[in-house]
Structure 1
Amino acid sequence: MNKNFFSATIIIATLFCFVPEAKSQIGAYNTTVGIRGGTSVGGSVKRFVTDHDAIELMVYTRWKGWVGNLLFEHHMDIREFEGLEWYIGGGGHYGIWKVGKSEPPWVYKATEDYAAFGVDAIVGLDYNINRSNWYISLDWKPSYNFQDFTGLWWDETAFTLRYSF
């Protein structure tokens, strides 16, 4: 079902890119809402607090549990490519895995609820699609957990499709 939802969202987003009423200026948005897909699947809300600084909230599922991130990101233009920016930042996360509903990879058999919290770094690219209200991002977000049993999660990568308003 997640694949069908993701495919439908991509198709609708592509159609909206060609609607003249949806056109906007590059970089003229304050808030975006999007869906993430990669090593995890979930959603994202990003709000710019200055011209180049943003706060992003991510909520996603991974290993059949739930993780939430709050990140600060600094965006910088890539002058050679119109509509393309790169960003770097950091923040924190908190995740929950419930017995009977998930088995995180750091345990042999889940016999209790697990929680993980820690710090995150993020680096990525953000592209405005055809000068529209649609943006696509690719990011890498390594995390370090303060619990002994989880340690470093270095493999978190995702594409995010966002709509700005």
Structure 2
Amino acid sequence: MKPRSKINILFLTLYIGLTASAQNLSDLVIEESDYKTSIGLRAGETSGLTFKHFFTGQDAIDVIAGAWHHGFSLTAMYERSANAFGVAGLIWYYGGGGHASLATTQGYYYHRDGNRRAEFYRQGSVGLGVDGVFGMEYKIPMAPIAVSLDVKPYIEFVTTGGIWTSLDPGLGVKITL
């Protein structure tokens, strides 16, 4: 099986699992976030500055201004959160949104022998994608810091004709306001 097929099957399995587990969300104990707004950094395939704002105790928007080795991206997602395992300050969250990316350089895939195989980004190409997110966040008591670990699967359609998918795991550290 080709690596791209394996990634697509993994993405589909994750999506089905998250959709199935989301059916029992009304049974969960909802606890409001310990903060209203946060600013920080996310390290992962989508790495960059992150801004999160809670509109209600459970509903938030998360914006990531990302940079990667071939360009820049902007991601915006709606997130819903709930208390995790009855631990104060620990929440799990899920949601979705979209992103746009702009390639500033060209990128190629290479064979193991070093020969160039295919162009996957061209300078000036634009990508538009759909993102999901599922993760956990811990707001450290008595400190204005929150730490998160998530998976942000996406599918991206690029003007060069490419379609890219990724699970995009990430680690975030934020200052809470």
TM-score range, shorter chain: 0.7 to 0.9
TM-score w.r.t. length of structure 2: 0.69
The answer on 1:47 being equivalent to 2:53 is yes
TM-score w.r.t. length of structure 1: 0.74
Paired amino acid for 1:70: A
CA contact (8 A) 1:63 1:104 kept: no
The aligned residue for residue 129 of structure 1 is 140
The answer on 1:66 being equivalent to 2:78 is no
CA contact (8 A) 1:123 1:141 kept: yes
Aligned counterparts, 1:1-165, within 5 A: 27-98=33-104, 101-103=105-107, 107-108=118-119, 112-147=123-158, 149-165=161-177
- 1:50: Cα distance to partner? 0.7
- 1:89: Cα distance to partner? 0.1
In structure 1, the gaps of 5 or more residues are 1-25
Q: Considering Cα pairs closer than 8 Å and 6+ residues apart, tell me whether 1 or 2 has the greater RCO.
A: 1
In structure 2, the gaps of 5 or more residues are 1-31, 110-116
Number of matched residues? 138
RMSD, matched Cα: 2.3
For residues 127 and 108 of structure 2, what CA distance do their matches in structure 1 show?
11
Q: 1:33 to 1:102 in 2, by over 3 A?
A: farther
The aligned residue for residue 20 of structure 2 is none
Q: 1:131 to 1:107 in 2, by over 3 A?
A: farther
Q: Which runs of 4+ in 1 moved over 3 A?
A: 104-107, 109-112, 146-150
Q: CA deviation digits over 1:84-137, x for unaligned, max 9?
A: 110000001000002xx3426594376542110021100010011244210000
CA contact (8 A) 1:70 1:93 kept: yes
Q: CA deviation digits over 1:13-60, x for unaligned, max 9?
A: xxxxxxxxxxxxx83311100011122421100000111000011011
CA contact (8 A) 1:97 1:104 kept: no
Q: 1:78 to 1:42 in 2, by over 3 A?
A: same
Work out the percentage of aligned pairs sharing the same amino acid: 25
